[in-house]
Amino acid sequence: MPYCLGYLFMPSPFYITTAIDYANGSPHLGHAYEKVLSDVISRHMRMSGRKVHFLTGLDEHGQKVQQTALKRGVEPQALVDEIAAVFKGMLGDLNISHDDYIRTTEPRHKKVVQQFLQKLFDQGLIYKGQKTDWYSTRQEQFLTDKDRDADGSWPEIYGEVTQTTEENFYFKLSQFQPWLVEHIKSHPDFITPRFRQNQVLEFLKEPMNDLCISRPKSRLTWGIELPFDTSFVTYVWFDALTNYYSAVADKGFWPADVHVIGKDILSPPHAVYWPCMLKALGIEPPRQLLVHGWWTVNNQKASKSSGNATNTLSFADSHGADAFRYYLCREMVVGQDADFSTTTFENRYKADLGNNLGNLVNRLLNMVGRNYAGAIPAAAADEELEKNLRQLWSDSIKKYNEAFADYQVSHALEALWVFISAMNAYIEARAPWKLAKSTEADDRARLDSCLAHVAEGLRLVGTILTPVMPATCDKLLTNIGRPVATHFEGELTWSAACTGSKVAEKCILFPPIEAPTETPSA
């Protein structure tokens, strides 16, 4: 079959993207969180039987990169090459399973940006105009009076704001406003969580301006040249947004199923510019924008100058990438803001992971080793306690899956930990260490059942939790004598799969951290 025809017969993969990070600083908590969240969703989808295409990357053009390169006396390309290596290093450290990494300086990307621009220009949707406007160098954007604070001053985020008269190219964004409002209203899942949609619709109550999509080379050279006028480069947002399409242009994966982004870049870039650009080009919009909130560190703004948000990444080193992944997913309710602190991190590490999960595994290995020569017994007695535990698993996995269907990973984990806590309560209630001392046949049957149930419960937990803590779950499953989990189908219902499995002698999933962890400076 000819190569391209193959796509016609293959179901298109679940296509998920993250925002592409600015190549103008070090990776930090916000970048890490978004990659982890997207990775957990990707792994979960793969284990659910979907083919997945997971894209992330780096946003490498623009004034700030040009300025930093100039300051450091290096070529912008050399600078972004260096930064790309650091950002990719973070992905490795966090065990991110992306399928592709796009950099906006790559030819495959530039080609598509220029095709988009040319097409819009040919359709008469890009025109040249002159404007005198307020311009923020820091944000690389023109401002209007709407952007001022109530007292008339410019918000701090814009830095120095100056008046500039400039000839530029404009995309006729405003003509797509009625379509966009209708699209958002008729696709209630387009912007998730729902309350973010209302904010966008509120923004769209005011008439939109056309979008300036160029920068004169006299001011900025580090960008993609406009194909129809090489004395201009492309506005960074037009350039950056196109990455989602350029990375898969020849693969047939469009439209994206979900763009995972932070709330700061929802409106206007992702909720307004991007769908309108695509509409103008006759391309389907993405199916969904999944908008997460903002991390603070010790209740302080994550700031580049203090490095507080970058320092938090050291927790992945000290406590392991999986503990860090778990903490981020558990602590931030998707859509809402969250705070990172040493205290909450260590509490979750000790309580949720060490005591609740890690100790349970060791208790099991210990008891099975001591009483059954390391082979998990078959369940013999079946009393109220066992029935309740199995019922609780059914309830928890149902809640887990329902929450996950809305990408509410934190709620899913919360539901799972109800089950893990119940397993701890179950083992306390059964007191297998006492049963082991009894000579009664009933007690022996209860002991069999207790260890069989804890083993099975841990197998189920290790399976569903693999996308969140891949290496830890591989270790957990291997240590209870089971193969690592590669898929969910048939693996999430209560079974006797563990019977006879040979457990390891000992397994430390979450070693106690001796040295006091330094609080990330704020």
d(CA 292, CA 490): 32
| 8 A C-beta contact, residue 380 and residue 445 | yes
Task: Name the residue whose CB lies closest to ligand MSP.
Answer: 262
Residues 257-296 binding ligand MSP (CB under 6 A) are 261-262, 264-265, 294-295
**Taking the complex as a whole, how short is the minimal distance between the CB of residue 328 and ligand MSP, in angstroms?**
10
33 binds ligand MSP (CB under 6 A): yes
CA distance 361 to 509: 8
Closer residue to ligand MSP in complex, CB, 57/320: 57
21 part of the interface to ligand MSP, by CB under 6 A: yes
CA-to-CA distance for 210 and 434, rounded, in angstroms? 75
Distance, CA of 228 to CA of 166 (rounded, Å): 18
Count interface residues toward ligand MSP (CB under 6 A): 21
To ligand MSP, the closest distance from the beta carbon of 319 in angstroms equals 20
* Cβ partners under 8 Å of residue 105, min gap 6: 60, 61, 77, 80
Amino acid at 347: N
**Contacting ligand MSP (CB under 6 A), which of 20, 65, 290, 392?**
20
The Cα 119–Cα 216 span in angstroms is: 20
Per-residue binder mask for ligand MSP (CB under 6 A), 202-241, x = binder: --------------------------------------xx
Judged by CB under 6 A, which stretch of 28-36, 107-115, 171-179, 368-376 contacts ligand MSP? 28-36
Nearest CB to ligand MSP, comparing residues 283 and 484: 283
Query: For ligand MSP, what does the binding mask look like between residues 350 and 389, x meaning CB under 6 A?
Result: ----------------------------------------
Helix (H) or strand (E) holding 57: strand 52-59
- Helix ranges (H only) for 312-408 are 314-319, 321-331, 342-347, 359-372, 384-405
CB of 282 to ligand MSP, least distance (A): 21
Q: Which of 40, 45, 117, 302 binds ligand MSP (CB under 6 A)?
A: 302
Which tokens sit at 67?
């300025």
Q: Which is nearer to ligand MSP, 21 or 448 (CB)?
A: 21
Among residues 59 and 456, whose Cβ is nearest to ligand MSP?
Answer: 59
Quote the least distance from Cβ 59 to ligand MSP, whole Å. 3
CB of 227 to ligand MSP, least distance (A): 21
CA angle 304, 305, 310 (to 5 degrees): 45
Burial state string for 240-262 with b = 16 or more CB within 10 A and e = fewer than 16: bbbbbbbbbeeeebbbbbbbbbb
Strands 141-143 and 229-234: unpaired
Report the 10 Å Cβ neighbour count for 154: 15
Task: For residue 451, state whether it binds ligand MSP (rule: CB under 6 A).
Answer: no
Using CB under 6 A as the criterion, which residues of the chain lie in contact with ligand MSP when the complex forms?
19-22, 29-31, 33-34, 59, 240-241, 243, 261-262, 264-265, 294-295, 302, 309
